[in-house]
Structure 1
């Protein structure tokens, strides 16, 4: 398992970090803003009524495809997580629009986190840290540290999957949109902030500098 879809390191290109962030987060932010504006609207298309959530989802899919394609064109690479997320958005978002049922799109984060957690867990069973292949350039850790972090991340992803299921099944669509846009991102940020001691204990930087 590798961290990108390019074949050669020379294919990779550096781009402005602000542009990269805008392409990665822009579609999610636009989805949130559009939902707030259209959440109470109903649109009749081809004789079928669609609420604002479905219409916004329909617009979000090509927007995410375009932004991901732009990232690939500008950088020459895509992470496995980006590719998997795009595929699941197209599949589950497409099902929601096609069947006029918002439940499929709400399931999408669950499927993403189960997939990522499952892949990391599979690697652990094989005695490998797939997380290391994805994040090694950002966080130089010893092998033991990568195994511990991978186990924690796998369990954390599975916990997020459970949390998403609870929220979308028991709360309103608006609550779920807030949870998806801000809650999940805040949880990921908070999780990695709490791993500071592990990063310090198992950092490989001193060895590399020596």
Structure 2
């Protein structure tokens, strides 16, 4: 990959990350100003807006944000319609558990690492590397589901929302960073971009 291609890829990745985090950040801000129901409406609108932007930027529909946005629409819609914040609080538990089950089930039942078709464009790993990475992410999604359960059942709505930005998101970044040695070790083909 040339320097220009690498820079363009880095810029696109930055925009894609902003599109993934933007709806959550707007939810956080709107909730702090106008409450959970307005915040949830903003979350739904921002999620719906970010998907076509992501499609235009990356040239494909993003699988995980697409599933997440579907559940934001369903559970956010139920939250607003029934005036019950429990639904939006359950959404991260259900989505993370679903991702964990799909990834783990792919390994156990299909004997396939289902992260490969999703991230195969970005990462070139050996089959063993894909299996290990998929297993780790599967287990981590269950950790995120458990964290969400503890936070929404044990703390105030404001603390639960803050935990999305200041606990779950940093945990995910740290976990992703900790996978770099595995990516280096199992990189397949040309020189690894991880050094």
Aligned equivalents of 2:60 and 2:76: distance in 1? 24
What RMSD, in angstroms, separates the aligned Cα atoms of the two structures?
Answer: 2.1
Contact persistence 2:126–2:187 (CA under 8 A):
yes
Note the 1:91-102 alignment, pairs <5 A. 91-102=74-85
Aligned to 1:22: 18
Aligned equivalents of 1:22 and 1:152: distance in 2? 24
Is 1:136–2:132 an aligned residue pair?
no
Select which of 68, 79, 104 maps to 2:87: 104
Aligned equivalents of 1:74 and 1:199: distance in 2? 25
Change in CA separation of 1:120 and 1:200 when aligned onto 2, cut-off 3 Å = same
Contact persistence 1:15–1:75 (CA under 8 A):
no
Aligned to 2:154: 170
Q: Which has the larger radius of gyration?
A: 1
Note the 1:28-39 alignment, pairs <5 A. 28-38=24-34
Aligned to 1:71: 54
Contact persistence 1:145–1:198 (CA under 8 A):
yes
Select which of 151, 164, 187 maps to 1:203: 187
Aligned equivalents of 1:120 and 1:33: distance in 2? 32
Q: Which stretch shifts more, 188-197 or 67-76? A: 67-76
Structure 2 portions without partners, runs of 5+: 1-8
Contact persistence 1:88–1:108 (CA under 8 A):
yes
What are the Cα deviations for residues 97-126 of structure 1, in whole angstroms up to 9, with x where unaligned? 111011100111111101111110111012
Q: TM-score, normalised by structure 2?
A: 0.84
Query: What displacement does 1:16 show?
Result: 5.5
* Higher helix fraction (1 or 2): 2
Q: TM-score, normalised by structure 1?
A: 0.79
Aligned to 2:3: none
User: Size of the alignment, in residue pairs?
Assistant: 182
